Amino acid sequence: MAHPEPVSDALFGSLARPDNLPDEIAQQIRQKIVSQAFEPGQRLPTEQEFAQRFGVSRNVVREAIARLKLSGYIETRRGVGSFVATDAGQQAFELLPADLLQAQALEHVYQLRVEIEAGAAALAAQHRTDAQIEQLRVALTRVDAASDDWRMGADRALDFHMAVCQAANNPYFLRLLSLFGRAIGDAVRTLRYCSTGTERVAQIELEHHRIFDAIVARDADAARAAMREHLTNGMQRRQAQLQQTGAAAPAAATSPRAGPGPD
């Protein structure tokens, strides 16, 4: 049986000493599995080797390995070691905000989000009820009213996007969008924060109104196009920010994490 390769210092990034070290270590190992730096079936370095590389105890590494095993990325064999699962990551969909600091992953998630939300907007135009139109109207009014508060505006914008998915009257769209979880919220807050005091805020409001008007008019093609344009504009702005900052999140302590954003 082939022995695992030594853990190279260049393979993993340094730890930022977060509140939860097992989570960060699990995240770094997971990223290497997803990128196939560790291939399916490959034996992983030992707990001791990981502990030395990350500068933590074996107990911390053991917790990280347990998280990866639970999420289907790693298989452990008693007395032998830990191995990359042959179907690593295919047992459950998950998206971590830190993944979105990588340009390729960011683009891939963006492509998925565009198709989900543009499709949801088209279905909303076809299947929305009068009550759902009123819910969308209220959500839109709240977004407009919060234009001067980036944090509140971000939360209200997220509410509007979720209301669009609800109006599609297909529970699987809503469940799928919800799987993006915290990454979506962080994305909206990041872009709102960075758009404060710029013309982008007014553009966001206009784009939201175009989506709403198309849904009210039961124009599925227009709703799809309006949502696609909205997401594309937000993504292009986020890509420009990442190029300027070297994929770093906003430095201010009160600013949100980075991610793919609709606004």
The domain covering 97-245 belongs, at the CATH homologous superfamily level, to GntR ligand-binding domain-like (1.20.120.530)
* Residue partners of 158: CB distance under 8 A and separation at least 6: 184, 185, 188
Instruction: Look up residue 248 and give its two tokens.
Output: 């770093």
Q: Which residues pair with 76 in a beta bridge?
A: 82
Q: Which architecture characterizes domain 21-84 according to CATH? A: Orthogonal Bundle (1.10)
Q: Look at residue 251 and tell me whether its pLDDT is greater than 50.
A: no
What does the domain layout of the chain look like in residue ranges?
21-84, 97-245
Quick check: pTM over 0.75? no
Q: What is the mean pLDDT of the chain?
A: 81
Highest mean pLDDT among 202-216, 225-239, 240-254: 202-216
What is the per-residue pLDDT across 127-176, written as a single tens digit (0 to 9) for each? 999 999 999 999 999 999 988 888 888 889 889 999 999 999 999 888 88
What is the per-residue pLDDT across 183-209, written as a single tens digit (0 to 9) for each? 666 667 777 777 777 777 889 899 999
